[in-house]
Structure 1
């Protein structure tokens, strides 16, 4: 049995503005530790994340499983840094869900397939930090 990580935040911006932050490579790099994202944002297309983590270069990958602007993005995700083999069982699904919340947007990120509660907690913390960065970038741009 696997666990699911989850993080939530409210961003003071319209869903279209937050969606741009989720899908624009330049904006993603601002809040996701300089990560460079490559994809055409179409269902079934590959998505690649390149960068450096703790001094080590990485190239993570996945596939766009579902994309419904401006409310939902689901990708598969695999990182060689996980130490797991590059096979279907090693991939996790990451879901970005955006919903109007008054004059802002509620954002929830989930990542399934965590090996145990400790990994789910670690990933939830990482996603919370990422969402805080996203909020800073989006709300800073909105001012």
Structure 2
């Protein structure tokens, strides 16, 4: 029997609680920051934040699903907000958990949206494949001019002025410091690029990724 890991993910956002609450309860707003663009994104948002969610305004969202559910809480912190998600469980704290890491990425995307691009539309480029996370992180730092947005055991984020003020999140199934090959995902969030520039950006990133990863794949907005 698989033992479920308990986790808590918390991120500080420089935005008032009412703005954060609106961004996590309005499906139209959620689509501007959550995950990446693909044909099933609207259905995913509906499943998580509407169909399986119980809202307790102004600061609590309970998501009931087959994993036992998670609880999202907003905590005022000065002029900002701490957003926290918790899930009960018993597994060892150092165990990789896809749902935990998903929330870590989502909250960093939410933070970037509210702090740098409130109410703006986005387009994403999503890359998957198998690669050495340590090598990819080093290559990303050379490729993307920016600053560290966040860093955790399984993730690294870079905020950049390129791509209309973009965000790159690398999420790995093995620690990002590892030299061995493991499953990886990279999400590039862009803003304000016209169709021609966005298409060229997709081609460039896929070519770059194909030189680093085994079984490289790309999903993006049209």
TM-superposed deviation, 1:13: 0.8
1:97 counterpart = 2:73: yes
TM-superposed deviation, 1:134: 0.3
- Unmatched runs of 5 consecutive residues or more in structure 2: 120-222
Aligned ranges 1:1-143 → 2 under 5 Å = 1-33=3-35, 34=37, 35-36=41-42, 48-49=47-48, 63-64=52-53, 66-77=54-65, 90-113=66-89, 117=93, 118-120=95-97, 122-140=98-116, 141=118
TM-superposed deviation, 1:110: 1.8
TM-score by length of 1: 0.63
More strand by share: 1
TM-score by length of 2: 0.43
Q: Secondary structure at the match of 2:31?
A: helix
- Do the aligned partners of residues 113 and 63 (structure 1) sit closer, same or farther apart at CA in structure 2, a change above 3 Å counting? farther
Structure 1 ranges of 4+ moved more than 6 A = none
Q: Which residue of 1 aligns with 2:130?
A: none
Larger radius of gyration: 2
Once the two structures are overlaid, the 10-residue window that deviates more, 24-33 or 108-117, is: 108-117
The answer to which structure, 1 or 2, has the higher relative contact order (CA under 8 A, 6+ apart) is 1
- Do the aligned partners of residues 37 and 19 (structure 1) sit closer, same or farther apart at CA in structure 2, a change above 3 Å counting? farther
